[in-house]
């Protein structure tokens, strides 16, 4: 009987392009996930198939692995294997099948969720139960295997988030604090239909921004985003949706004008949401395409959904509402799914 590990995706509510400067961020895990069904092997080999990919990932689990072509999903499987063997003594690989209801290259952390899920499967196959701190020491480094010099926000969120809460993540040392989301607040994800592949075409631009902390416009974004994270936490705690929403709009403007990581499609989604009455919206994730996150209270989210369907998606091909425009709810991270609430 195969074993199963589920790792959620995440949306970053606020705190974009600052986690790799070890500054606090506020993501939440969502109720869409990577699901890995696996069996242990009595050899150091990893075989993985995906329900959404045509290729098969099959390799001998040697101490030093080489990545495949940029953008290949198998690189995240190899990254997990490399990270585990660098940190632990292992002897058994896995045979795994990967399934997902997370859209890929959408800024929802599907790649980090895949890396995390395979890592947890490999550890369990070798009888290792790693702590949050141990995993946070290896997962961000493991992602560098694919060439993206990101931060640790995604891994913290998909591991340690709590249902019904955003997660305030601080670094040095890593500390994750759940911040309850007011029950009437609702969140909508809207895909720009522009793919955002940090492991492929957008990687160089992403890495360049990461290295540009002291460039004037980048510094202005970073300083402003730090203030917006603190203000967003206060707005959540006081159920101040108008203030929270304006913080999202301000973040989007900074990401667009100062970092240049938005695109016309994301800008259009944010503006349509604003006109439809959404208190706040912004791109979420690294940018260069992917998704926007939109917040509204109660059934007002339905008016925003209808406006986006009519004004943005109706004129575009390839629209599948189940994967392009959907409500998300704050979900438990993988560690809480494995161990249960503490």
Active-site residues: which are they? 154
Tokens of 294: 């939109």
d(C-alpha 52, C-alpha 286), whole Å: 23
Three-state SS letters, 64-116? CCCCCCCCCCHHHHHHHHHHHHHHCCCCCCEEEEEEECCCCCCCCCHHHHHHH
Give the pairing of strands 185-191 and 325-328.
antiparallel
Helix (H) / strand (E) containing 14 = strand 3-14
Q: Which two tokens stand for residue 145?
A: 């295997």
Task: Evaluate whether 54 touches 184 at the Cβ level (below 8 Å).
Answer: no
- Going from the C-alpha of 229 to that of each of 19, 48, 178, 335, the distances in angstroms are 11, 38, 14, 25
C-alpha–C-alpha distance, residues 97 and 102, integer Å: 15
């Amino acid at each position: 009987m195969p074993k199963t590990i589920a790792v959620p995706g995440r949306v970053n509510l606020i705190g974009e392009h600052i986690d790799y400067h070890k500054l606090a961020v506020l993501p939440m895990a969502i109720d869409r996930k990577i699901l890995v069904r696996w069996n242990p092997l009595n050899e150091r080999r990893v075989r993985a198939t995906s329900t959404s990919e045509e290729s098969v990932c099959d390799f001998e689990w040697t101490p030093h692995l080489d990545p495949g072509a940029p953008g290949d999903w198998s690189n995240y499987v190899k990254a997990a294997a490399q990270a585990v063997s660098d940190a632990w003594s292992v002897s058994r690989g896995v045979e795994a099948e990967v399934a997902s209801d997370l859209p890929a290259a959408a800024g929802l952390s599907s790649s980090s969720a895949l890396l995390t899920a395979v890592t947890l499967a490999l550890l369990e196959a070798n009888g290792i139960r790693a702590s949050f701190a141990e995993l946070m020491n290896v997962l961000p480094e493991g992602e560098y295997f694919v060439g993206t010099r990101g931060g640790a926000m995604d891994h913290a969120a998909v591991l340690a988030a709590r249902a019904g809460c955003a997660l305030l993540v601080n670094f040095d040392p890593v500390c994750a604090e759940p911040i309850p989301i007011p029950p009437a607040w609702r969140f909508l994800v809207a895909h720009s239909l522009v793919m955002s592949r940090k492991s492929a075409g957008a990687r160089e631009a992403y890495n360049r921004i990461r290295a540009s902390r002291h460039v004037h416009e980048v510094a202005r974004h970073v300083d402003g985003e730090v203030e917006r994270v603190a203000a967003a936490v206060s707005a959540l705690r006081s159920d101040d949706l108008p203030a929270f929403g304006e913080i999202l709009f301000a973040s989007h403007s900074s990401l667009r004008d100062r970092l240049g990581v938005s695109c016309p499609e994301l800008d259009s989604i944010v503006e349509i949401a604003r006109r439809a009455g959404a208190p706040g919206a912004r791109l979420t994730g690294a940018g260069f395409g992917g998704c926007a996150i939109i917040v509204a209270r109660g059934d007002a989210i339905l008016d925003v959904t209808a406006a986006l369907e009519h004004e943005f998606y109706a004129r575009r091909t390839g629209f599948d509402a189940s994967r392009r425009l959907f409500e998300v709810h704050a979900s438990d991270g993988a560690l809480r799914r494995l161990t249960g609430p503490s």
